[in-house]
Structure 1
Amino acid sequence: MKIKENNESSFLRNINNFNLKIKNVWTLVFLIPLSILIIIPENFNSILTFALKALMGTIPFILFAISLVAYLKATGAESLVSKAFKGKEVRTIFIATLVGGLAPFCSCEVIPFIASMLALGVPLSAVMAFWLSSPLIDPPALLITASALGWDYAIAKTISALTIGLIGGFGIYFLAKLGMFTSPLKDQNRSSSGSCCDTKDPFNQELVLKFWNNSERTKIFRDEFITNGLFLLKWLSLAYLIEALMVQFMSAQIIGSFLSGDGLSSIVIGAFAGVPAYLNSYAAPAIVSGLIEQGLSAGGAMAFLVGGAISSIPAMTAVWSLVNRSTFIAYLTFGFGGAILCGIAFQFYVNF
């Protein structure tokens, strides 16, 4: 009996070890290209090139974000950043929304900055405002949208970005007053998995700007830089591989086949259809122009533009690794809900 129990325990341990290996993100990052090479070798080069190009375009943002966090932690200045937002949360929400509207980040490129802001203690309300508004619009995207769809769409999308940012920011602000979102980051063991979630101040708020003369602080900088860098690199690598697969196999014709029509249903479908399509603010307007010709309503087009930019599957993959479940659900709720509301408002404007 005892031998049988030991065998069962050994079997369960092996199963658990196997599950841990499968869940390892680096394993997936390796297995996905390998599977493509074996199953569809003719698409291997195009998919891998797309993913690598997207990742390399994000590397400068990752380097800037993790360097900033590492420097602030090594110098002990992170507490000053947190204090800068104390008692000024409402104003910070407005500022974060406006900055997000000017920042040229897609839903994946904004992830390193979200990680940095949360790690430094910036209120989740302000982070959410920046998080939602940034992928939607920026000056180049405004001009591209106006060129492909007209100024009505461009202006409406800009208003949508600011509106959703404010709704998300103040939504989190009021929910936090009820005791929610006290710890938005996932509680992870840095030694085992690495994350951007450690906000402990190792120097008790002592500020030393020239930290490189101190071996302990230099080690803090190096450890933070490497740990946070690997954390973001592995999740964004997975995110861009998923994006490359979707871009390769999901055409505008497939999407347009079930998006055509008028009414609320097309708006709701448009908001959710933008998620698997994943079209950034630069590529989306031209595709949406073609979908409109295939029968997509104005409200559905706006919902598609907004929903796809905010809540794409690659972005959700990276976000899931960073924040806890309640914060993740709030992000999706504000993203999808905002896309639907903006679609309804724009359809009403067009019909009026």
Structure 2
Amino acid sequence: MAELTQNPRPLARNLIDIVKTPWALIVVILALVAIFDPGNWTEVVTFAGKALAHTGQYILFAVLLLSYLKATGAEVMVARAFEGRETRMIFLAALFGGLAPFCSCEVIPFIAGLLALGAPLSAVMAFWLSSPLIDPPTLLITAGALGWPFAIGKAVAAIALGLFGGFAVRTLMRSGAFAEPLREYKPAGCCGSVPKTDDKPVWKFWQEPERRSKFRSEFVQNGLFLLKWLALAYVLEALLVSYVPADLIARVVGGEGVVPIVIAALVGMPAYLNSYVAPPLLAGLMEQGMTAGAAMAFMVAGAVSSIPAMAAVWSLVKPRVFATYLGLGVSGAIVAGVVFQMI
């Protein structure tokens, strides 16, 4: 009898977990379209399917690259960026922020360890601002959805924002700000640890069984993750193109000038989903009249203010540093949008 009364609870939790997945949301969305607009169902599915197939080549390459970086232990190269002169550290931190294969969870103990070991906040801020904006999978997915000029522009904006934030914080620190930036932090031990700078990446990872296993697990995990989120993104893009009036988008974030870019940056902060869903949605918005500058501002501001990125910053540093992080991110997004629009 005890078993009968205890089994429904895990089953209920499993059902809830399934319902909360992107796959379940896709099924619900398509079912609603079939019920309320059956004539448009085939068009929505075809649009999403073709878009996903087009991006499939980028997904495959991105997953292979990310799995390779993880299996080789290439993150030790990022740790070495935080050694030496402060100016050099800021430049390398901004650059490696876009290359680091860290998830939003793994970056927390990594950054906590660096700050605890005395890495300057200026270099850490450069890394923090550039890291959420771009990584190898995001670069390829952005290129697949919006084209290589937009993807390269986003990568340049990520590095520029990191440099802007790093040198701004260094200037503030020289005037006495941020003397003790770090909160008390106790790592949970579930998300990895700081790589040792004397470790070396093993580029021929296939020679070690442990690393081969790491590559396989990362390939499956990241492949399924990207596939489910991009499938949802393209379904949402199909809905956007089908049901949102183009003149509405054009009125809000279309047209010339700085105002649409500022609006896009401010809307992008709370509305952002993640770096994999955003490019397809922005592709749909641009088809409806959103300017390229506004799209860039939306993407940059949203990446900086995404929940994982903000949670990582808030969990480690004091409120003043957190406010500086957001301020630099939003102002940098607006500047990036203006510059991209002019180019």
TM over 0.5: yes
Q: Secondary structure at the match of 2:332?
A: helix
Q: CA 1:106 to 1:305, structure 2 compared with 1: closer, same or farther past 3 Å?
A: farther
| Displacement of 1:94 | 0.8
Alpha-carbon contact 1:93-1:126 (below 8 Å) kept: yes
* CA distances 1:203-255 after superposition (whole Å, capped 9, x unpaired): xxxxxx9xxxxxxxxxxxxxxxxxxxxxxxxxxxxxxxxxx9xx99xx66499
Aligned residue in 2 for 1:178: 175
Alpha-carbon contact 1:106-1:135 (below 8 Å) kept: no
* 5+ residue gaps, structure 1: 1-33, 51-56, 69-80, 196-208, 210-243
User: Aligned runs of 1:180-219 on 2, under 5 Å?
Assistant: 180-187=177-184
| Displacement of 1:322 | 1.8
User: Aligned runs of 1:121-270 on 2, under 5 Å?
Assistant: 121-187=118-184, 253=240, 259-262=252-255, 263-270=257-264
Alpha-carbon contact 1:149-1:285 (below 8 Å) kept: yes
Alpha-carbon contact 1:107-1:312 (below 8 Å) kept: no
The answer to whether 1:103 aligns with 2:100 is yes
* CA distances 1:276-317 after superposition (whole Å, capped 9, x unpaired): 233333332111101111221111100111111122134323
Amino acid in the other structure paired with 2:320: S
Q: CA 1:168 to 1:121, structure 2 compared with 1: closer, same or farther past 3 Å?
A: same
* CA distances 1:19-38 after superposition (whole Å, capped 9, x unpaired): xxxxxxxxxxxxxxx9xx99
Aligned residue in 2 for 1:300: 294
User: Aligned runs of 1:79-98 on 2, under 5 Å?
Assistant: 85=83, 88-98=85-95
Q: Identity percentage over the alignment?
A: 52
Amino acid in the other structure paired with 2:287: E
| Displacement of 1:194 | 7.8
Amino acid in the other structure paired with 2:267: A
Q: CA 1:107 to 1:274, structure 2 compared with 1: closer, same or farther past 3 Å?
A: farther
Amino acid in the other structure paired with 1:265: V
User: Aligned runs of 1:304-319 on 2, under 5 Å?
Assistant: 304-319=298-313
Aligned residue in 2 for 1:331: 325
The answer to whether 1:47 aligns with 2:41 is no
Aligned equivalents of 1:291, 1:45: Cα separation in 2? 30
Q: CA 1:318 to 1:148, structure 2 compared with 1: closer, same or farther past 3 Å?
A: same
TM-score (ref. length: structure 2):
0.58
* CA distances 1:1-53 after superposition (whole Å, capped 9, x unpaired): xxxxxxxxxxxxxxxxxxxxxxxxxxxxxxxxx9xx99xx9976332689xxx
Aligned residues: 238
Aligned equivalents of 2:131, 2:15: Cα separation in 1? 36
Amino acid in the other structure paired with 1:133: S
* CA distances 1:60-108 after superposition (whole Å, capped 9, x unpaired): x9xx9xxx9xxxxxxxxxxxx99x746x111111111111121134656
Q: CA 1:194 to 1:112, structure 2 compared with 1: closer, same or farther past 3 Å?
A: closer
| Displacement of 1:114 | 2.1
Amino acid in the other structure paired with 2:280: A
Aligned residue in 1 for 2:283: 289
Alpha-carbon contact 2:134-2:158 (below 8 Å) kept: yes
Q: CA 1:144 to 1:172, structure 2 compared with 1: closer, same or farther past 3 Å?
A: same
Alpha-carbon contact 2:143-2:151 (below 8 Å) kept: yes
The answer to whether 1:274 aligns with 2:247 is no
Aligned equivalents of 1:146, 1:194: Cα separation in 2? 36
After superposition, the CA RMSD in angstroms is 4.1
Aligned equivalents of 2:112, 2:171: Cα separation in 1? 22
| Displacement of 1:171 | 0.7
TM-score (ref. length: structure 1):
0.56
Alpha-carbon contact 2:261-2:293 (below 8 Å) kept: yes
Alpha-carbon contact 1:260-1:294 (below 8 Å) kept: no
Q: Structure 1: which 4+ aligned runs deviate by more than 6 Å?
A: none
| Displacement of 1:150 | 1.5
